[in-house]
Chains A and B, each alone.
Chain A
């Protein structure tokens, strides 16, 4: 059980970092929408269209690391599996 908590914590850390890096390593806040610039050919104006897209930020990493830390901490209070005679 102790080991299971620690493995889950490690997977959470590695998974969150991998996802964050794969999504562009955004060092700002997490975004659920991103602006896309659109140029109107007639007027030359630059418009902004918002597209739904999840971009994890440092707050996402923080929450994931806190969660992993909590799981790792809990593992210290879980009694070790007693060996069967």
Chain B
């Protein structure tokens, strides 16, 4: 009887451990994680990316709808091909990277959650903060949980990977970035592409 109870307790604990939410750290040692951005402009579109992505996401494969997390992008890590454009972008006239060093998205709620295999798609309702202005946004995301794949990416480590992809648009005028100004030179709409992977070591 005692043995049976021990086995049952072990199975229950193992099951609970397997189903427990995992925390994924999005600081990428490989430097692949990035947030791309694009704005239309008369001569050529302004295409850039940011590499300073950090943050954590708590993900439960058994309950993807309960996913919570916060992703931060270091404003100073925003890069453009033209040095003068980059200098202007980070200056106090535009993003004011010194005063507002972080761009963040914090999830609040998941809607329209659909899971097929290891991939979940959902609409994430969360707070996007840019240049000190916070707005509630709904962002369509695709999450892919790669079980036991961490070792293939980072040698000598065991664990899982969570890949997040998202495409969405914001208006710079909503975030007090020269609202109503220079729209003949730089569009109001900013297209954002998020391609990040987080690790949950075991």
Contact = CB atoms under 8 A, between A and B. Distances in A.
Interface of A: 27-35, 38, 40, 42-50, 55, 57-58
Contacts of A27: 43-44
Given A42-B152, A43-B163, A31 B81 contact: yes
B44 A32 contact: no
Contacts, number: 65
A40 B197 contact: yes
A48 B37 CA distance: 12
A32 B81 contact: yes
Chain B interface size, under 10 / 10 to 19 / 20 to 34 / 35 or more: 20 to 34
Most chain A CB inside 10 Å of its own CB: which residue of B32, B36, B49, B79: B32
A47 B33 contact: yes
Q: Sorted from nearest, which 7 A-B pairs have the closest CB atoms?
A: A47-B32, A28-B44, A31-B81, A43-B197, A48-B49, A42-B153, A40-B32
Interface string B177-200: 000000000000000000111000
